[in-house]
Amino acid sequence: MAQTGLPDPVFDRIPFDQWLKGGGEAHLRWSAEISASRLGVQQRLVVVLSVRIDGAEFVKRNIPGQVVVFLEIRDQDDRVFRTHRALHFDELKNAGALAAVSLDQYTFILPGDYQVAAAVYDAQSKEHVLKKMKLHVPELARDPLPGSWRNFPEVEFVTITEPPDGWFMPEISSRLSLPVQNARPVRVEVVVNESPTELATRRVGRTISRNMGNLIPALKALSQMEIRNGSIDVTLLDLERRKVSFNQEQVSKLDWPRLRAALLDNDPNQIDVHALENHEQNAQFFVSEVRKRLDSTESNGDVPLGLTADPARVLIVLSGPMAFPKGQDLRPIEAAPEPGTRVFYIRYYPPRPNFQSEPQLEGMHPRGRLPPAPNVPAPVRGGATEDSLARTLKPLAPRIFDVTTPTEFRAALAAIMAEISQLK
């Protein structure tokens, strides 16, 4: 796709190339703009192509699908990437109260210079308006992971969907290039705390969606590390129910259908009464699961093909800051790590709600819940004193990465990869 662009057969039904030469014909109140690029939680550069149409135009054009938005991005080598969207707002009971319609097309993009064209088309009258814009996407300054996008297409149009699919974006099949040149065999254990954290609970209620909107993309990136001489295992822990909700060994590609089912099954707004029994042991459940993954005797029977019987152990804990309620048994882990063991704790602070849905109706709400934006990091940190997990891990001397933004996570990922590559 990177070599040929991304065609859209619907463009064959309209004279779009002629439009590019002549501008627009319709008298339609609208605007189009492009956001500055930013690094998203999927570790991809993101731009947003926004088209805003005055609500009065829909009063005139009230046939479903009558108004269509066409978008084209053209790179320096004249490769073309196209998409379109027919706007359906027939469910509105009072279309006259509609102030405006904003269509935001999220787009993954590589650094470079592009020509962008946005057009609004009236399928009944055959009228259109078109705007051409220039887009410059700069390289990341001091990128700690240069080359991680080498296998990506230049442009990928993204559809924002409901969680958990909106967190993982399973339709995006391109993978980060994250080679780890480690000489010593290594077994990497990634442990994700999917329970609502105290900080997230206090800010947005008993919902993990805000925090997991960071953790699942981070897990996806970690799982794409290419360990030359080793393996990656992934575990999701539900601390409130004291259970392993998901486990996948020797990950080459995350099993999204199983992971998705596990996330949907663990509704944070509902918990079985039996899970509340002995709730003071939630922290010790976490400690016991960490101990299992550091104990070489736990899994010597299924050593991945090509590894020695006793590979080096690397534990990566991925969680929001976790403050357990009073009465918890917060005794730290007692087992000392074996020589050569590395423990990392990526403490990801939750984002703040900001973006609305696409398309966005000003003054009104579309049907269904509002899907989240790909990334809206919050520059708010509660401090290490609010985190009980760090206390339980202290004897392991973990290297802690406090992460708020995708840029900080990228730096943490690069640092972890560098340490794994240096294991001897």
In the chain, the number of structural domains is 2
3-class state of residue 24 by DSSP: coil
Which pTM value belongs to this model?
0.85
Phi, psi (deg, nearest 5) at residue 160:
-80, 120
pLDDT for residue 125: 87
**Residue 401: count of CB within 10 angstroms of its CB:** 19
Residue 23 lies in a domain: yes
The two tokens of residue 397 are 């001397």
Q: Do 129 and 184 fall into the same domain?
A: no
Q: Do 310 and 229 fall into the same domain?
A: yes
Q: Do 301 and 319 fall into the same domain?
A: yes
Q: Do 29 and 102 fall into the same domain?
A: yes
* Spatial distance between the Cα atoms of 208 and 350, rounded to a whole number of angstroms: 9
Residue 328 lies in a domain: yes
* Spatial distance between the Cα atoms of 392 and 54, rounded to a whole number of angstroms: 56
**Residue 47: count of CB within 10 angstroms of its CB:** 22
Q: Do 171 and 253 fall into the same domain?
A: yes
Q: Do 169 and 151 fall into the same domain?
A: no
- CATH code, domain with 114: 2.60.40.2550
- Provide the residue-wise pLDDT of the chain in tens; the chain has 424 residues: 445 689 999 999 999 999 998 866 677 889 999 999 999 999 999 999 999 988 888 777 777 778 899 999 999 999 999 999 988 765 455 555 677 788 899 999 999 999 999 999 988 888 899 999 999 999 999 999 999 999 899 999 999 888 999 999 999 989 999 999 998 999 999 999 998 764 444 444 344 456 889 999 999 999 999 998 899 999 999 998 899 999 999 999 999 999 999 999 876 555 554 555 656 789 999 999 999 998 865 554 455 545 555 789 999 999 999 888 788 888 999 877 777 899 999 999 876 554 333 343 333 333 333 334 444 333 344 444 468 899 999 999 999 999 999 999 999 999 999 999 998 8
Whole-number Cα distances in Å, 152 to 39, 143, 148, 293: 15, 17, 9, 34
Whole-number Cα distances in Å, 178 to 2, 147, 247: 19, 8, 22
Residue 4 lies in a domain: no
Q: Do 141 and 183 fall into the same domain?
A: no
pLDDT for residue 189: 97
Residue 329 lies in a domain: yes
* Spatial distance between the Cα atoms of 282 and 330, rounded to a whole number of angstroms: 9
- Residue 188 · residue 314 · CB < 8 Å: yes
Q: Do 191 and 150 fall into the same domain?
A: no
pLDDT for residue 15: 94
**Of 101, 130, 158, which residue is a domain's last?**
158
Relative to beta strand 112-122, strand 67-74 is antiparallel
Q: Do 242 and 131 fall into the same domain?
A: no
Angle of helix 209-223 relative to helix 406-421, nearest 10 degrees, comes to: 30
Q: Do 145 and 264 fall into the same domain?
A: no
Task: Indicate the DSSP class of residue 11.
Answer: G
* Spatial distance between the Cα atoms of 154 and 45, rounded to a whole number of angstroms: 10
Place of tokens 């048994």: 329
pLDDT for residue 360: 37
Relative to beta strand 128-137, strand 112-122 is antiparallel
Q: Do 110 and 24 fall into the same domain?
A: yes
Residue 62 lies in a domain: yes
The two tokens of residue 47 are 């731009």
Residue 251 lies in a domain: yes
Per the structure, the complete domain to which residue 142 belongs is given by 9-158
For 4-74, where are the E strands, in sequence order? 30-34, 38-39, 45-54, 67-74
- Residue 120 · residue 129 · CB < 8 Å: yes
Residues 6+ apart with CB under 8 A from 306: 185, 229
- CATH code, domain with 250: 3.40.50
Q: What is the CA radius of gyration of the chain?
A: 24
Residue 295 lies in a domain: yes
**Of 158, 183, 202, which residue is a domain's last?**
158
Residue 2 lies in a domain: no
* Spatial distance between the Cα atoms of 424 and 419, rounded to a whole number of angstroms: 10
pLDDT for residue 374: 42
Q: Do 344 and 227 fall into the same domain?
A: yes
Residue 61's closest CA among 117, 127, 10?
A: 127
Total number of residues shown for the chain: 424
- What's the one-letter identity of residue 101? V
**Of 158, 179, 213, which residue is a domain's last?**
158
Query: What separation, in Å, do the N-terminal and C-terminal C-alpha atoms of the chain show?
Result: 40
Whole-number Cα distances in Å, 348 to 99, 256, 401, 404, 410: 38, 21, 8, 6, 12
In Å, how far from its chain's centre is CA 220? 8
